[in-house]
Amino acid sequence: MYKIVGVLNYLVVIFLNAFTDLGHKIIIQNTIFKVYDGHTQVVLTAIVNALILLPFILVFSPSGFLADRFPKNKIMEYASVLAIFITLVITYSYYNGYFVLAFAMTFLLALQSAVYGPAKYGYIKELVGEKYISSGNAAIQGVTIVAILGGIIVYTVLFEGMYSDTLVSESDILKTIAPLGWLLVIGSTIEWFFASKLPNKMIEASSRNFKLHRYLKGTYLRKNLKTITRKKEILDAILALSLFWSISQVVLAIFPEYAKSELGITNTIFVQGTMALAAIGIVIGSIIAAKLSKYFVNMGLVTLGAIGMTLIVVAVPFTHNVTFIAIMFTLFGLFSGFLMVPLNAKIQLLASRVHLGTILAGNNFIQNIFMFSFLTLTTLFAYYGMNTELLFYMMALVGLYLVYRTASRYIVDTFWSIMQILSLLRHKYNYIGLENISSEKPILLLSNHVSWLDWVLLQLPLQRHINYMMDREIYNWKVFHPLFVKGEAIPLSPKAFKDAFRESAKRLREKKIVAIFPEGAISKDGKLGKFHRGFELIEQKSHALVIPVFIDGMFGSLFSKYKPKNAQSRVKRRVVNVYFGEAVSSDITAQELEIIIQRMKEKYEVK
């Protein structure tokens, strides 16, 4: 991906945009932290965050229109020019101690970002294509978070270095730290330089025109919201992201006051540094999410992320050890990366090129409506004296609702993600011949059987869920039965085997993937067992791609029936190769299939 022309320039632009925006926010927040206490501090911090969110609500329609109408690289270039002028005014307000003006400029800087946003994120798909869309989103999340982390550290350390306890007013503080304003100007200027070098990736220019009266009447708003709601999966992803960001915004708004009142911490470096650890966690989580989405967008990670961050929010009020809180914020970020990367990638993947800008702007709009509403409630609760500990518990309840929503949609994907993570701890999988697996046609997979995990490793590289045949007694286990039903397993028993094959035929008619291990049992000696003729009874296999599969590397593992005396190291990961052969005749017999897989074994097996 990094060899694609423009990718590195694009990442530099993303970094500088976030670094500069955050720099001004940190200066204002640290000033508030030094001057105010209690509910006043929470209220003002929430207002700062609200000023950043409000522009994304107000310019939803124009920003989406611009991203669809004009080349996205040009929008980024002109927006960065605007940022230079805004940061110059901010620097002027610092030198003159105009706190109210500096406070208000937070809104204008956010307005520039709001216009910038849909073009910035829509450019990912244009620049790297669908093949790298998960990796692209992971890179953007990682770079953005590194920028946020860097901004927090750099501006907070410089702020503390210039600050003196003799400074008692906002004006005095701003005048003292005023030279920091030039860092904002320089950052915006360099951002403009790299933005001007980005390639134009627009395939076809839109001919639409923007009419102000339709915007003021809300016509565009209603139309664009309809565009978003056409695909339920896009809307569900946007709502999940909105709930996530709402929880995150409230936690970040209330933690400084919680640290000051409950933990007795007054140094802004520690407060901002602890929250910055969440940024490190997001980088780590985004990288892991990209690796686990190597073959397709892994939506199962979303529920795992929601569960993890909810548990962290519940645990923070019970923890008074500074080290543990730092670890929890890092884990909060890690689980956030699990949630953000797949959801953002899914939205971009499902959105049509024509409406990509509108949908991404709508994503910003809905997210910021949620965040603005949550921050407004936080402000009211804090104003009337609600303890920050109670606000943590309220966010935990919202987290539970997020877990419910994501689990309802992605429960099967979540199961496979858990199995993927657990299996990758012990194994490294290489998949050969995935190009033989159609993304649309019905498929019958016929594989050798060497371990208890064969059913897991066949599924991992495939986005479409495999319908496995399994023993009816296991299928009816009370604890796991609902999951087997949800996972569309096909129960098989000696007395009703014809029913199982009829059901398999039905699944193939529905263009699904059905997998069978014709040996009927796990090999005890590593050799192929006799292939049973049951799969020959499937009527619909003539309409399906019949794919022979050979699994190599699992025999002799912890999950096989044979345990060699000179067992492989338990520390070193076992390398497993899975070969998907070319489609064979739908009339193939069990004996012919056995010969084909035996030849694959002789050709590919690692001795």
Task: Report DSSP letters for 249-274, one per residue.
Answer: HHHHHHHHHHHHHHS----HHHHHHH
Residue 446 has pLDDT above 90, yes or no: yes
HSE-CB of 451 using CA atoms within 13 angstroms: 22
Average pLDDT over residues 397-416: 92
Q: Which backbone phi and psi does 492 adopt, to 5 degrees?
A: -130, 135
| For residue 206, pLDDT beyond 70 | no
Give me the count of residues in the chain.
607
**Residues above pLDDT 70, as percent of the chain:** 91
pLDDT, tens digit (0-9, with 9 covering 90-100), for 1-31: 778 878 888 888 889 888 888 888 888 888 8
Mutual angle of helices 72-96 and 99-128, in 10-degree steps: 160
Section 557-563 average pLDDT: 79
> What single-letter amino acid sits at 341?
V
SS3 content of the chain, % helix, strand, coil (to 5): 70, 5, 25
Assigned token pair, 75: 């929008």
Contact 317, 442 (CB under 8 A): no
Locus of tokens 């005095």:
172
Mean pLDDT of 171-178: 88
**What is the maximum alpha-carbon separation in the chain?**
89
Percent of the chain scored above 90 by pLDDT?
23
> What φ, ψ does residue 205 adopt, rounded to 5°?
-75, 145
**Single-letter code of the amino acid located at 548:** P
Among 15-19, 44-48, 296-300, the range scoring the smallest mean pLDDT is: 44-48
Angstrom distance (rounded) from CA 80 to CA 275: 27
432's enclosing H/E stretch is strand 427-432
Which domains, and CATH codes, for the chain? 7-200+213-424 (1.20.1250.20), 427-604 (3.40.1130.10)
- Res. 389 pLDDT band, cuts 50 70 90: confident
Which pairing describes strands 443-447 and 490-492: parallel, antiparallel, or unpaired? unpaired
Residue scoring higher pLDDT (42 or 536)? 536
pLDDT, position 214? 66
Residue 570 banded pLDDT, cuts 50, 70, 90: low
Across residues 159-179, what is the average pLDDT? 85
Most confident of 221-230, 490-499, 507-516: 507-516
> Strand order in 513-516's β-sheet?
427-432, 574-580, 545-552, 443-447, 513-516, 466-471, 490-492
CA atoms within 13 A on the CB side of 234: 23
Q: What is the pLDDT of residue 568?
A: 56
pLDDT category, 218, cuts 50, 70, 90?
low
* Residue-level pLDDT at 199: 84
Token duo for residue 226:
């309809």
Q: What is the pLDDT of residues 331-387, one digit of tens each?
A: 998 999 999 889 988 888 887 766 766 777 677 778 878 877 887 787 777 767 667
Mean pLDDT of the residues in the chain = 83
36 vs 190: CA distance, rounded Å = 35
Tens-place pLDDT, residues 419-433: 999 988 888 999 999
**Position 213 pLDDT exceeds 70:** no
Instruction: Quote the distance between the C-alpha of residue 417 and its chain's center.
Output: 14
Q: Is the pLDDT of residue 402 over 70?
A: yes
Per residue in 362-380, is it b (16+ CB within 10 Å) or e — as a string? bbbbbbbbbbbebbebbbe
Rounded Cα distance, 209 and 220, in Å: 12
